[in-house]
């Protein structure tokens, strides 16, 4: 039992340190680049993870309350609800203006086509009605 524990404990420590290193943003890895820390953790089986946990990562809370899900999203400092986000509201207004101008263009085109049809129908001679399919 003790032999299994002597194998499982360092393995668990290595796996934990490896995952922690991979999930750490590059700017929070101290002293060495993240890639170097990954190699140290994997090559120096017991010492590497301990060194990573002790000195490899900035353990202070992230600046601006950043959470792990935000690390790969351009380092946002704070989340803003869509109703409070001026950029989002401006994009909606711009989109509405584009849609309104497109709708006006379609309406103008429809009026033009209707007028063409009225002129065409007005210029034709003879009775208006269904055509004879026998012709």
Q: What is the pLDDT of residue 104?
A: 95
pLDDT of residue 69: 47
Same domain assignment for residues 32 and 67: yes
For residues 37 and 89, state if they share a domain.
no
Residues 15 and 75 reside in one and the same domain? yes
Instruction: Clarify whether residues 22 and 72 are in a common domain.
Output: yes
Q: Above 60 in pLDDT, residue 32?
A: yes
Q: Are residues 108 and 61 in the same domain?
A: no
CA distance 94 to 98: 6
The domain in which residue 71 lies consists of: 2-79
Tens digit of pLDDT for each residue in 45-92? 888 888 888 887 776 665 655 555 444 445 555 667 777 788 888 889
Q: Are residues 34 and 96 in the same domain?
A: no
Are both 6 and 63 inside the same structural domain?
yes
For residue 68, tell me if it sits in a domain.
Answer: yes
- pLDDT for 2 beyond 50: yes
Position 128 in a domain: no
Residue 134 lies inside a defined structural domain of this protein:
no
Cβ pair 88, 77 in contact under 8 A? no
Regarding predicted confidence, which is higher, 39 or 134? 39
H or E element that contains 105: helix 86-123
Judgement on whether residues 39 and 70 belong to the same structural domain of the protein:
yes
Tell which wins on pLDDT, 40 or 77: 40
Q: What is the pLDDT of residue 99?
A: 93
pLDDT at 106: 95
Residues 49 and 35 in one domain: yes
- The model's pTM is 0.45
Token look-up 């999203």 returns 73
Tell me 71's DSSP state. T
């Amino acid at each position: 039992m003790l032999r299994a524990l002597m194998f499982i404990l360092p393995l668990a420590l290595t796996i934990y340190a490896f995952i922690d290193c991979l999930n750490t943003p590059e700017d929070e890895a101290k002293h060495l680049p993240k890639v170097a820390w990954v190699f140290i953790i994997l090559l120096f089986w017991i010492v590497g993870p301990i060194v990573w946990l002790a000195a490899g990562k900035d353990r202070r809370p992230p600046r601006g309350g950043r959470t792990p899900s935000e690390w790969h999203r351009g380092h946002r400092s704070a989340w803003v609800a869509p109703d409070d986000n001026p950029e989002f509201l401006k994009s909606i207004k711009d989109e509405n203006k584009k849609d309104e101008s497109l709708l006006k263009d379609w309406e103008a085109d429809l009026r033009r086509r209707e007028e063409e049809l009225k002129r065409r129908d007005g210029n034709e001679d003879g009775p208006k009605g269904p055509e004879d399919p026998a012709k």
